[in-house]
Structure 1
Amino acid sequence: MILAAGLGTRMRPLTEHTPKPLLEVGGKPLIVWHLQALRAAGIREVVINTAWLGDKLEAALGDGQRFGLKIHWSHEPAGQPLETAGGIVRALPLLGHEPFLLVNGDIWLRYHMTTLRTALAPGKQAHLVLVDNPAHNPAGDFGLQGIGAATADEHAVLMPKSADSAFTYAGLAVYCPSLFQGLSQGVRPLAPLLRDAIATGRASGEYFAGPWVDVGTPQRLHELDAAIRANDI
């Protein structure tokens, strides 16, 4: 599932007429980088949720055939995005009963997503990819126990952040649908569900050294585009 329902308020005026995932870096839209990475990882079906300018997203990407994928669309009210967990709950009928990969539509990274196909260990409901804290999130989001062993192929225990272990959630994860089943539809953030999963040992994580960019402002978009074109990232 690709999250593409945000309003893109920090990216205005660029997002007044263009949904943020369709903004381009390196000659192609942000969301196309994801679609190509998912296809390379052997994934064949993708759910995309939309809210703001969702019709333009669907018009641009269609059914996904030209990317070698089948895209399922989950449309949300344009004026009130449901937040991450709310969007997932709404899309559960499209996602099925098996674990699914989730990626934010407004990030850019070079991560081999094939490794995530087997990332969710027995008994776990969430596996998060974490990165070094960027300047706009210096305090981080979560901690990792045993970070020295946390690679793309090894799991670490996901913990609340602390002074000794604080990393930023990359917007890339694997979730089990059971984490969301039974929840009512509506506006629902993801963080409380993750905190509960961490407290009960149902979440794991891994550290990713990058490259990774949260493309949240016009300046970051411009800098990322320039870096890609100059082969500096």
Structure 2
Amino acid sequence: MKAMILAAGKGERLRPLTLHTPKPLVRAGGVPLIEYHLRAIRSAGFADVVINHAWLGQQIEAHVADGREWGLSVCYSAEGEPLETGGGIYRALPQLGDEPFLVVNGDIWTDFDFSRLTKPISGLAHLVLVDNPPHHPNGDFALIDGRVQDSAAQLRLTYSGIAVLHPQLFAGCADGAFKLAPLLRDAMAKGLVTGEHFVGRWVDVGTHERLAEVEQMLSVKS
């Protein structure tokens, strides 16, 4: 199974840090965020990684290079202008192959064990969901008997930015900017999205306050 790290966002809420540094290279505990993913992906047994980028993407390529430092083989999907999550993944599909692949948002920090996602999936997607953080109290989706549903009537959880996706999820799509969520909702309506609830450490590092939260977690851990 291959892995993809989504690293094309501008990180506008982390300015001025991201004026000259792409968000995946912003440091937490002295380490660029993307390196936590690279280490965890390698520890889980993955070998091949695709990283998409747009804003200051050449800095990401210069820092990660071919991935050899982390025991990985890394290639890149350069976007120029961001294609949003769906469009970015679609653009990278030729590099990801015909089998399901791991996808991870580059701007989260977590101690999730990616090896849990190496088993085959049934359907078009398998999502990792987390408890709703304070900045997203209403959540995204419901998890009912192992299936993810777009239900407002059930307890909702937040999509963590970690998933296994089948390339067939993007059947009928065309190159360009588009969101991932509508594709997932269509697949949910057909019962083709499974999920799991992760209760470990997870932070969406979108603001200075949440970056400070990660720093605090790392200092306690050490």
Superposed counterparts of 1:1-233, under 5 Å:
1-77=4-80, 80-121=81-122, 124-146=123-145, 156-231=146-221
How far, CA to CA, are the matches of 2:140 and 2:38 in structure 1?
26
CA contact (8 A) 1:119 1:174 kept: no
Greater shift in the superposed pair: 61-70 or 181-190: 181-190
The Cα offsets for residues 101-125 of structure 1, whole Å up to 9 and x where unpaired, read as 000000011111111011512xx01
How far, CA to CA, are the matches of 1:229 and 1:89 in structure 2?
38
TM-score, normalization: structure 1?
Answer: 0.91
TM-score, normalization: structure 2?
Answer: 0.96
Q: SS at 1:60's partner residue? A: helix
How far, CA to CA, are the matches of 2:216 and 2:196 in structure 1?
29
Greater shift in the superposed pair: 129-138 or 177-186: 177-186
Calculate the aligned-residue CA RMSD, in Å.
1.1
Per the TM alignment, residue 127 of structure 1 is displaced from its structure 2 partner at its CA by 0.3
Q: SS at 1:6's partner residue? A: coil
Residue type at the aligned position of 2:132: N
How far, CA to CA, are the matches of 2:58 and 2:183 in structure 1?
30
Residue type at the aligned position of 2:117: L
Per the TM alignment, residue 163 of structure 1 is displaced from its structure 2 partner at its CA by 4.2
CA contact (8 A) 1:22 1:57 kept: yes
Per the TM alignment, residue 226 of structure 1 is displaced from its structure 2 partner at its CA by 2.4
- Identity among equivalent positions (%) equals 54
How far, CA to CA, are the matches of 1:220 and 1:201 in structure 2?
34
Per the TM alignment, residue 180 of structure 1 is displaced from its structure 2 partner at its CA by 1.1
CA contact (8 A) 1:89 1:181 kept: no
Corresponding residue pairs, total:
219
How far, CA to CA, are the matches of 2:23 and 2:153 in structure 1?
34
Q: SS at 1:18's partner residue? A: coil
Residue type at the aligned position of 1:118: K
